[in-house]
Structure 1
Amino acid sequence: MTAPADPTLKSLTDTIDQAPAAGLRSVPPAVGVPKGVAEGVPTAPLPDQQQGDGRTPIGWLTIRVPRRGTPTATSWCACGRDLFASGHAKVLALSEDHTAHRDACPLRTGTTISEGRAAA
């Protein structure tokens, strides 16, 4: 194949006379030597200063009362108890039952669930 006869149809070639594009240059630090971490940040992890007394919660009673709505409650325990109540009277009854369960819970009394079932 031959080149076109019209010189305006030829492709333009890059010119070497152009200045190079602006490049990034490294800027020296304004003051002092570059640091690995920010000032005031400890470089070694500190021990946990909030050590508890060894107790962990095993049961929760959650009561929700929306404005002008029906109150609801959930009683949950790590032993497997998961109850729900809706309405004023049922929420009060579940609250009392949750308090009674705290004294009878097998996780708090030291008996296992299977021992409690065998005894029943």
Structure 2
Amino acid sequence: MSARRHPPLKSITITPGGPYAAPQPVDGPAVCEPKGVAVGVPLAVRPGSRRDDGRRPVAWLHITAPASWSVTPSAHSWCTCGYERRAIGRAAVLQLVAAHAEHHTTCSLLDSISEGRAA
């Protein structure tokens, strides 16, 4: 039984002899460059349209309470004055919520901030 021979290749690809330059893209508009309705029509964008009213978050309370009663809830309370507390468990989280509310009345950063309808 003789070995099976493959027919010779029809064409051989010639590899380049050295480096060559890839085709360069045509210069166009920059990415995310605003375009008007028509060429030459500027967009009506007002700089600084959002005014800063000076309000900043000062104290945070983050509670993680999964829907399942078998999972233990946790909470984290912190303030820019340096107050920071963490709690794990139902009773401890309830105490932390009360302590966070108490901190709102005693913190020097929060006493000047009005809440409710007056805000």
Relative to the length of structure 1, the TM-score reads 0.54
Aligned residues: 84
Query: Higher mean Cα deviation, 74-83 or 63-72?
Result: 63-72
Structure richer in helix, relative to its length = 1
Q: Aligned equivalents of 1:25 and 1:108: distance in 2?
A: 60
Contact 2:61 2:100 in 1 (8 A): yes
Query: Higher mean Cα deviation, 73-82 or 45-54?
Result: 45-54
Quote how far apart the aligned CAs of 1:26 are.
7.5
1:84 partner amino acid: R
CA deviations 1:42-76 (Å, max 9, x no partner) are 78x84232324211111100001134311100000
Q: Could you list the runs of 5+ residues in structure 2 that have no partner in the other structure?
A: 1-19, 37-41, 113-119
Aligned to 2:85: 83
Query: Higher mean Cα deviation, 76-85 or 58-67?
Result: 58-67
SS of corresponding position for 1:109? coil
Distance 1:39 1:87, change over 3 A: same
For the pair shown, the structure with the greater C-alpha radius of gyration is 1
Aligned to 1:73: 75
Q: Aligned equivalents of 2:56 and 2:108: distance in 1?
A: 15
Distance 1:39 1:101, change over 3 A: same
2:75 partner amino acid: A
Aligned to 2:95: 93
Aligned to 1:118: none
Q: How do 1:57-72 residues align onto structure 2 when only pairs under 5 Å count?
A: 57-68=57-68, 69-72=71-74
Quote how far apart the aligned CAs of 1:25 are.
7.8
RMSD: 3.5
Contact 2:74 2:87 in 1 (8 A): yes
| Aligned-pair identity (%) | 37
